């Protein structure tokens, strides 16, 4: 039976709120468990990321990030996600330098997920033409004649 258009009772709202709080507590516990696994990446075989953490905790990445946005600055979930981001950044930087990860992919992930700003390449263009002295003299003469008004 559809409840569209009907408001929830206070008891229903309380039960939903209680259920959400219980789920959030479980998610925080799973995130803590995930961060413990990150201390020894070689043994756990994990590649640190928010996506992996959310799946490990049984919640979607979108829901986890929305929850993070609704929490206070020093909340437990924010601290856990910041730690995961830091470990991910360290993994990408060291993996890229040591050749463990693909360098181009590593740079893109650092740019997108961690705010790394790549410096644009300064392109130096040297236009060197081999111009004969006769052609150069003719171009100068033509330029002078145009300035005087004589085409």
pLDDT in tens, 78-126: 999 999 999 888 888 888 777 877 777 777 777 777 667 766 666 666 6
Cβ–Cβ < 8 Å for 76, 28: yes
Please state the pTM of the whole predicted model. 0.60
User: Considering the chain, what is the average pLDDT of its residues?
Assistant: 78
Domain boundaries along the sequence of the chain: 10-117
Output phi, psi for 67, to 5 deg: -65, -40
Cβ–Cβ < 8 Å for 111, 118: yes
Helix axes 10-37, 61-70, angle to 10 degrees: 110
- Range 54-70 average pLDDT: 88
Select the more confidently predicted residue: 68 or 74: 68
Residue 34 burial by CB count (10 A; 0-12/13-18/19+): exposed, middle or buried? buried
- Range 62-75 average pLDDT: 86
CA distances from residue 5 to 8, 31, 128, 150 in whole angstroms, order as listed: 10, 37, 76, 87
Task: Take residue 102 and report the two structure tokens written for it.
Answer: 């693909």
């Amino acid at each position: 039976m559809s409840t569209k258009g009907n408001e929830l009772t206070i008891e229903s709202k309380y039960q939903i709120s209680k259920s959400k709080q219980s789920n959030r507590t479980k998610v925080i516990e799973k995130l803590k468990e995930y961060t413990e696994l990150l201390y020894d990446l070689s043994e756990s075989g994990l590649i640190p990321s928010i996506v992996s953490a959310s799946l490990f905790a049984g919640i979607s990445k979108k829901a986890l990030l929305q929850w993070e946005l609704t929490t206070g600055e020093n909340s437990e979930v924010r601290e856990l996600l910041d730690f995961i981001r830091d470990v991910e950044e360290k993994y990408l930087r060291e993996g890229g330098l040591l050749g463990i990860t693909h360098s181009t992919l590593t740079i893109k992930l650092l740019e997108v997920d961690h705010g790394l700003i790549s410096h644009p390449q300064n392109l130096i263009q040297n236009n060197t033409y081999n111009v004969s002295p006769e052609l150069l003299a003719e171009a100068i003469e033509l330029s002078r004649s145009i300035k005087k008004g004589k085409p």
